[in-house]
Amino acid sequence: MSKLTLNTTPVDARPAPKRSIGAIAWLRANLFQGPINSVLSLLAIWALIAGLTPLIQWAIIDADWIGTSREACSSGGACWVFISARFEQFIYGFYPSELRWRVNLTFVLFAVMIAWLALPRLPAKKLAAVLTLVIFPIVAFYLLHGGSFGMPAVPTHRWGGLMLTLVLAVVGIVAALPIGVVLALGRQSKMPIVKSISVVFIEFWRGVPLITVLFMASVMLPLFVPTEVDMDKLVRALIGITLFQSAYMAEVVRGGLQAIPKGQEEAAAALGMGYWKRMGLIVLPQALKMMIPGIVNTFIALFKDTSLVLIIGLFDLLAIVQAALADADWLGYSIEGYVFVAFVFWIFCFGMSRYSQYLERKLHTGH
Amino acid sequence: MTTPSSPPPRGETPPFWRDPAKRALLFQALMLAALFAVIGFIVSNTLENLDARGITTGFGFLNDTAGFGIVQSLIDYTPQSSYGRTFMVGLLNTLLVSALGIFAATVIGFLMGIARLSPNWLIARIAGAYVEIFRNIPLLLQIFFWYFAVLRSLPSPRQSMSLGEAVFLNIRGLVVPAPVGGAGFGWTLVALAVAVIAAIVLVRWNRRRQEATGDRLPAGWISAGMIVALPALVFVVSGMPLTWDIPKLGGFNFSGGITVLPELLALWLALSIYTGAFIAEIVRSGIQAVSKGQTEASRALSLSGGMTLRLVVIPQAMRVIIPPLTSQYLNLIKNSSLATAIGYPDLVSVFAGTTLNQTGQAIEVIMMTMAVYLTLSLLVSMFMNWFNARMALVER
């Protein structure tokens, strides 16, 4: 009889099969799972090489970067000289160059406020929100427009470029927020007249394209006010954008309001709070937090839509590049111009959408 | 603080401002009064301003002669036509580019949305890059890019790019052969209609039969075969009465064929690619919303891969997809108004643009334009609500 032995030391784990680890295994699992996927992958690789090589060749390798006039562009690639020569105009429009420090200061202030609001580690968010929504617009107006505190006035027809794009988008969103809150509360109201006015207002602005709103603001608004009132073109555009945007904002706010359990409001009512106290102290503070991703998404949409003001003759970033393309000195560089504008818009929008996705994940505490 | 107020004695009603119902009435009355005051103010100002500018209100101008030409119209139009006719031409052009755009954006969006979920890493990344690039760039910029940077820099008609000497692409647009139906071609169309109706009847009958007996025919294949074979048979029997009007280069331009304007092409491309990026995201999240257990359960019930997709995954995904898809379609229709920036003769361009400038009837023109978009929005959302109600989960 053989003796039974018991081995108590564990056997070493065998290494994973070679085919299931490393680059080869990754390729097998992700690109070449079967005949169809292999063909697709090879086609995609071929398309990428065929498409990207000339693009990189044009945009980077053959491109001209240094110079001041079109004579510098001789190598046949992209002519980025066109952008660098016109860069200041693309950013500031026709703002007088000796006063551009005011725009820069506004940009810096804005960046600081946004960083304060957006970075979760920094304290006193409520103070920051009040400063951004109430104090900053006033300061920015006096800085950009001037005309007081010994600063020469810069009329709005000299504003342009990226600066105007930002002004339109930020004013549009900041002014639309309170109107949107009121409309959303009105839409949830139990009073039939208040409710129907809010619904009609919201659905009207959501149903028409922004272009017709801008047309309306530029041709009909002057008819609506007494003859003596002379409205600035920028102000008219801003009124149109604000009305349009407030309807979208109202829907975002409504989404936030609906996310708050009804028990919260009922509990507040049971404690004897009136309507405005219930809303202002209990419901809205909770709802506003839920709305931030929605507000950021609306802001992205508005930021892209501001480019439409070119149709009513304002020179935002796209319009000023479009105008520069018609310059006889720089004919034929439209692709460079558009790529530059696309890049600027893309950086802003992509950054904001990533931030809103991050917020959504953070706010989504799960149930 | 004063002492707590004692409740009013029985029989004595509280003052009206303590009664929520009466307070609501008062508040609403005040609100209506304010609304009417604002409207009255605007109307009186407007009338005064119009009077000062010598503009008479009313829709009489719609019968006046327009006096300008339109490069593309789906109905007969000459400069001698009225402004009312201009309105119709613009409306039809808007509908044309919207319909084309919705079709292409849906195809692109579904392809890219499914591709983003592909197990193939490279394909998923390419689809992801497409979505992130195109939805973060303003639509107007994309329209300008396709129009000014791509289509406007194509060669002249003499140096056209051509595909098989039948399709030509040049600065004047895309020229494609036009089908010309000869005598008797109508019968082929009739056969097509008959085949389609028969296919619908067959599918319904097959479904009833399956519910009653459990047997089913491969109705999809039979209908597809029928729809292809029947018109083809009639076409051959009636002597192939279809010729193609091939475009020919004569002088400086092409004659014959159908010319698709570069404006339409640029708008179509930009609208489809931009909206397609949004639809791709909607489709991806819709498919991901169907839990994996559903697929596994249907495989456990021995449904085939295709049937799992068709009967289990897609119906549930569509329920999530349809509402946001509707708002994307509405966005596309509204965004088609950007046509005015490149001169495609849509409603905003020819009516709220040229007609407004010529007549000065700002209020009527803008109101009519807005009414059209509001109506279109309403119609599309009504249709999609109906469709959604059919797809919706029937709950107990």
Q: Is residue B72 in some structural domain?
A: no
DSSP secondary structure string for all residues of A211-238:
HHHHHIIIIIHHHHS-TT----HHHHHH
Q: What are phi and psi of B254, to 5 degrees?
A: -90, 145
* pLDDT for position B267: 93
Q: Does residue A197 sit within a domain?
A: yes
Q: Look at chain A and report how many structural domains it folds into.
A: 1
Q: Per-residue pLDDT averaged across B66-77, rounded? A: 79
Q: What DSSP designation does A2 have? A: P
What's the gap in Å between the CA of B315 and the closest CA on chain A?
A: 26
Domain of B322, CATH number, reads: 1.10.3720.10
Tell whether B264 is covered by a domain.
yes
The per-residue pLDDT for B394 is 59
Mean pLDDT for A73-90 is 81
Q: Which residues of B touch A300 (CB under 8 A)?
A: 136
User: Are the Cβ atoms of B119 and A207 closer than 8 angstroms?
Assistant: no
Assess whether pLDDT exceeds 50 at residue B1: no
Q: How many domains is chain B partitioned into structurally?
A: 1
Question: What's chain A's average pLDDT?
Answer: 85
Nearest CB to B374: which of A37, A208, A300? A208
Whether A219 sits inside 8 A of B362 (CB atoms) is yes
The shortest C-alpha distance from A259 to chain B (Å) reads: 19
Q: Is B392 on the interface with A (CB under 8 A)?
A: no
* Contact call for B28 and A227, based on CB within 8 A: no
Residue A203 lies in a domain: yes
Q: Is residue A125 part of a domain?
A: yes
Three-class SS state of A8? coil
B residues 126..155 contacting A (CB < 8 A): 126, 132-133, 136-141, 144-145, 148-149, 153
The answer to whether residue B290 is domain-embedded is yes
Chain A positions touching B154 (Cβ under 8 A) are none
**A223 to B136: CB separation less than 8 angstroms, yes or no:** no
Using 50, 70 and 90 to split pLDDT, how confident is the model at A347? very high
User: What pTM was estimated for this model as a whole?
Assistant: 0.85
Instruction: State whether A310 and B149 contact (CB < 8 Å).
Output: no
The arithmetic mean of pLDDT across residues B10-15, rounded, is: 71
User: Chain A closest CA to B333's CA: distance in Å?
Assistant: 9
| pLDDT for A1 | 56
Q: Is residue A162 part of a domain?
A: yes
Distance between B52 CA and the closest CA of chain A, angstroms: 9
**pLDDT of B211 higher than 60:** yes
- Between A192 and A98, residue with greater pLDDT: A192
In a domain, B324, yes or no: yes
Which of the four pLDDT bands, split at 50, 70 and 90, describes residue B333?
A: very high
Domain membership of residue A279 (yes or no) is yes
Are the beta carbons of B49 and B321 closer than 8 angstroms?
Answer: no
pLDDT given at position A8: 85
Q: Across the interface, do A31 and B132 touch by the CB < 8 Å criterion? A: no
**What is the structure's pLDDT at B133?**
92
Lowest mean pLDDT among A143-152, B32-41, B129-138: A143-152
pLDDT over 80 (residue A363): no
Chain CA centroid to CA A15, Å? 50
B114 pLDDT more than 50: yes
A169 Cβ contact list (under 8 Å, min separation 6):
A299, A302, A303, A306
**Does residue B247 lie within any of the structural domains?**
no
User: Which residue of chain B is at minimal alpha-carbon distance from A219?
Assistant: B362
Q: Quick check: A197 and B35 CB within 8 A? A: yes
Q: For the residues B345-362, what does the mean pLDDT come to?
A: 85
* CB proximity B46 to A under 8 Å: yes
What pLDDT sits at residue A344?
92
Burial of A140 (0-12, 13-18, 19+ CB in 10 A): buried
Mutate to test the interface with B, among A208, A218, A302, A343 (most CBs of B within 10 A): A208
Task: Look at B341 and A311 and tell me if their CB atoms are within 8 Å.
Answer: yes
Instruction: Write the CATH number for A257.
Output: 1.10.3720.10
Which of B57, B370, B379 to mutate to test binding with chain A, by most A CBs within 10 Å of its CB?
B370
What was the pLDDT predicted at B5? Answer: 55
CB–CB contact B370 A212 (8 Å):
yes
Query: What is the arithmetic mean of pLDDT over A63-83?
Result: 78
Domain enclosing residue A149, as ranges:
82-363
Task: Write out chain A residues lying below 8 Å of B369, CB-based.
Answer: 212, 215
A224: nearest CB among B46, B123, B341: B46
What is the average pLDDT score of chain B?
84
Assess whether pLDDT exceeds 60 at residue B20.
Answer: yes
What residues make up the domain containing B344? Answer: 83-152+260-391
Average pLDDT over residues B28-41: 91
Quick one: pLDDT at residue A2? 66
Q: State percent of chain A over pLDDT 70.
A: 98
Contact (CB<8Å) A191/B28: yes
What is the arithmetic mean of pLDDT over B212-224?
A: 82
Tens of pLDDT, residues A144-171: 887 777 778 788 788 888 889 998 998 8
B28/A194 CB distance under 8 A: yes
Beta strand pairing status for B173-176 and B167-170? antiparallel
Residue B63 or A211, more confident: A211
* Residue A64: inside a domain: no
| Band of residue A367 on the pLDDT scale cut at 50, 70, 90 | very low
B27 touches chain A (CB under 8 A): yes
Amino acid at residue number B244: W
Neighbours of A319 (CB within 10 A): 24
B222 and chain A in contact, CB less than 8 A:
no
- Reported as a single tens digit per residue, the pLDDT across A241-290 is 999 999 999 989 988 888 888 899 899 999 988 888 998 898 888 888 78
Distances in Å between the Cα of A2 and the Cα atoms of A5, A7, A8 are: 9, 15, 19
pLDDT band per the 50, 70, 90 thresholds, residue B159: confident
B35 and A307: CB-CB below 8 Å? no
DSSP string for residues in A132-150: IIIIHHHHHHHHHH--STT
Which residues lie closer than 8 Å to B22 by C-beta, 6 or more apart?
B16
> What is residue B395's predicted lDDT score, i.e. its pLDDT?
53
The residues with which B179 forms a beta bridge, in sequence order, are B244
Nearest to B31 among A190, A193, A212 (CB): A193
In the sheet where B161-163 sits, what is the strand order? Answer: B161-163, B167-170, B173-176, B258-260
pLDDT at B253 over 90: no
Asked, for residue B227, whether it belongs to a domain, the answer is no
Domain contains A59:
no
Q: Does A15 map to a domain? A: no
pLDDT tens-digit map of B173-209: 888 888 777 777 788 888 889 989 998 998 888 888 8
A140 vs chain B: nearest CA distance in angstroms?
Answer: 26
With CB atoms and an 8 Å threshold, state whether A349 touches B137.
yes
Taking the CA of residue A341 and the nearest CA in chain B, the distance in Å comes to 8
Q: Is residue B93 part of a domain?
A: yes
CA of B40, closest CA in chain A: separation in Å? 10
Domain annotation covers residue B141 = yes
Q: Distance from A24 to chain B by nearest Cα, in Å? A: 14
Phi-psi region of A22 (alpha: psi -120 to 50; beta: other; left: phi over 0): left
